[in-house]
Structures are given as C-alpha cells and as structure tokens.
Amino acid sequence: MPDATAATSTGSDAAGAQRTLRCGVVGTGRMGRHHVRKYASLSGSELVGVVDENAERRAAMVEEFGCPAFETEEQLIEAGVDAVSIAVPTTFHLKCARPLLNAGVACLIEKPLANTVEEASELAALARSTGATLMVGHIER
C-alpha cells in the first residue's frame, strides 16, 4: 500500500523527515466511507476523525473504524487534522470547506468542486490566501 506522506507538502517536518499525515473525512455516506477506509489503512496516515451531521452514521464509523466522530468541522480542526476529504452533497462543499481552509487544512473535495462558478472561485481564493492545498477528487478509471 502506498505511503500517505510520499507526495504531500504537509508530510514532512521541518528537518524533512517523513511524519504521519493526520487525516479526516467530512461526510460519511457511500463515497466518504471509502475515504475513511483508505485513511484508516494507509501507511503514514492516521485517521483523526470523521464529521457527519447524522448521528447514526457517526456511530457506525466509530464502531467500524474505531475513530473519533464529530458534529462539526471545527471539532475536527481542534483534533489536529492536517488534511481532509470532503464527500458531502455539492451544495455543502463551500460551507464545509471554508473553516478547514481558513485553518490551513488541506482539502480534497469530491467532484464537482462547488455548486457554482462563484463558489468555486471563493474556494480557490480562500486556499490561495491561507496557503492551504485545495484538490478535486476524481474517480480513477
């Protein structure tokens, strides 16, 4: 299995040594669960927690993966996350990504990036202003 730190700018400490990448997932539906499963099993990755507004889904993630589950992105930030996958309905991408990008957390957002061109532009501008990495997830075929 690949090393989660190999291709990331956040995967090295000040001396250049590899360190564990602290990952989280926002949205634990079908796609989000795949991200949770990968972060839980990747070498060099630590699953810091998941965020979902649905209490049953949060409980299922705790039971299946043994990870903390939170109600808000702010709680995940407080847990010390470096990078997140956002796998919620498109209309919520900006709302979920905003606090994470403001905190400098790298965000992988499932496609499409945003609901509108204006929202996508806001996400890009926010990432530029904070220096956070912003990526769009595409299914590998």
CA distance 7 to 77: 22
**Other Cβ atoms within 10 Å of 137 Cβ, number:** 16
Residue type, 93: H
pLDDT for residue 138: 86
> Does pLDDT of 54 surpass 70?
yes
Q: Is 131 exposed, middle or buried (0-12, 13-18, 19+ CB in 10 A)?
A: exposed
Residue 48's CATH number: 3.40.50.720
Residue numbers of the domain that contains 35: 21-137
> Does pLDDT of 106 surpass 80?
yes
- 82 domain-assigned: yes
Query: What is the percentage of the chain residues whose pLDDT exceeds 90?
Result: 84
- 11 domain-assigned: no
- 16 domain-assigned: no
> Does pLDDT of 34 surpass 50?
yes
- 8 domain-assigned: no
What's the domain count of the chain? 1
pLDDT for residue 140: 65
- 125 domain-assigned: yes
> Does pLDDT of 63 surpass 70?
yes
Q: Which H helix or E strand runs over 16?
A: none
Signed CA dihedral, 36, 17, 126, 137: sign only: negative
